Amino acid sequence: MNYTAVWAIYSSEMVRFFRTIAQSFISPVISTSLYFVVFGAAIGSRIDQVEGVSYGAFIVPGLIMLSVMTQALSNASFGIYFPKFIGTVYELLSAPISFFEIVLGFVGAAATKALFIGVVILVTASLFVDVPVTHPWAMVLFLVLTCVSFSLFGFIIGVWAGNFEQLQLIPLLVVTPLVFLGGSFYSISMLPPIWQKITLFNPVVYLISGFRWSFFGTADVPVGLSLLAIFGFTSLCMVIIWWIFKTGWRIRA
């Protein structure tokens, strides 16, 4: 294991993050505050409670998930796409490092950034509303696994993407709708019956439901299923990355 190389990749990725720390910090704070003004104060004041929780608090887990997923995706996909785009990928390929070490460096950094932003949002939210955390360890587990799995997914997108449009395509066209329709801002029991069935095909439902359970102890789907879903998704991404590594797909001709 070439730990020096993993550290070199990880720290240089983090340097980029810290260089723009103001943006990295301020934008989630502002967007979270905006969500609270709109959903919490304006709309939320007309909604009493959702499953025994005040609406303002109810949206916090979904809000965190929304940001963590999009941040993990965009950071990881950009992290590996950028060297491909500017050509510095030659150095990664000619260095005495394994593909696993490359993934560890990039995905580790992207997951760290996403985790940081998740924590920032949680702290910001707790300034507006009282957010109880019933199962703190489960909360951390769901948060970390979501950061890691979506960073792995982002890495795959970054390897696959041939241009900047493709880099944006999956996050915009697939992930954002799935997250919005995944119960970030509502409980699926609020949907018409037919949509309650359809929405179960949305994998993000399981992640948000499990994460919300760790806060309030109530869930749309059983927590076991949520855990299975997140482990399943993580494993799937790992298998795809292993395959990329085996075949050199879009990386090594």
Partner 1 sequence: MIVDIKDLRKTYKGGFDALKGVTLGIKEGEILALLGPNGAGKTTLISTICGITNPSSGSVTVGGHDVVKDYRAARSMIGLVPQEINLEPFNKVIDVVTYSRGLFGKKANPAKIEEILKQLSLWDKKDARVMMLSGGMKRRVLIAKALSHEPRVLFLDEPTAGVDVELRKDMWDIVAKLKEQGVTIILTTHYIEEAEAIADRVGVINGGELLLVEEKAALMQRLGQKTLQVDLQAPVDAVPESLTSYDLELAEDGHALRYHYDTTGESTGITRLLGDISAAGLQLKDLQTDQSSLEDIFVGLVKEDAA
HSE-up (13 A, CA, CB side) for residue 143: 27
Asked if 137 touches partner 1 (CB under 8 A), the answer is no
Placement of tokens 């179960």 in the chain: 200
Asked if 86 touches partner 1 (CB under 8 A), the answer is yes
Asked if 15 touches partner 1 (CB under 8 A), the answer is yes
The CA distance from 82 to 158, in Å, is 8
The contacts of residue 247 (CB under 8 Å, 6+ apart) are: none
Q: Which of 72, 97, 179, 188 binds partner 1 (CB under 8 A)?
A: 97
- The residue among 148, 166, 129, 145 whose CA lies nearest residue 49 is 129
Asked if 249 touches partner 1 (CB under 8 A), the answer is no
Binding mask 27-66 for partner 1 (x = CB under 8 A): ----------------------------------------
The CA distance from 68 to 144, in Å, is 10
Asked if 253 touches partner 1 (CB under 8 A), the answer is yes
Helix count and strand count (H, E) for the chain:
11, 2
The CA distance from 217 to 209, in Å, is 10
Q: Give the distance between the most distant pair of CA atoms in the chain.
A: 60
- State the nearest-atom distance from the C-beta of 2 to partner 1, in Å: 4
The contacts of residue 6 (CB under 8 Å, 6+ apart) are: 97, 101, 104, 105, 108
- State the nearest-atom distance from the C-beta of 13 to partner 1, in Å: 11
Asked if 246 touches partner 1 (CB under 8 A), the answer is no
The CA distance from 79 to 181, in Å, is 27
At 215, the amino acid letter reads: F
Asked if 23 touches partner 1 (CB under 8 A), the answer is no
Q: Which of 2, 23, 45, 163 binds partner 1 (CB under 8 A)?
A: 2
Cβ nearer to partner 1, comparing 75 with 124: 75
Number of residues in contact with partner 1 under rule CB under 8 A:
25
- State the nearest-atom distance from the C-beta of 202 to partner 1, in Å: 37
Q: Which of 22, 46, 52, 94 binds partner 1 (CB under 8 A)?
A: 94
Question: What residue ranges bind partner 1 (CB under 8 A)?
Answer: 2, 4-5, 7-9, 12, 15-16, 19, 83, 86-88, 90-97, 248, 252-253
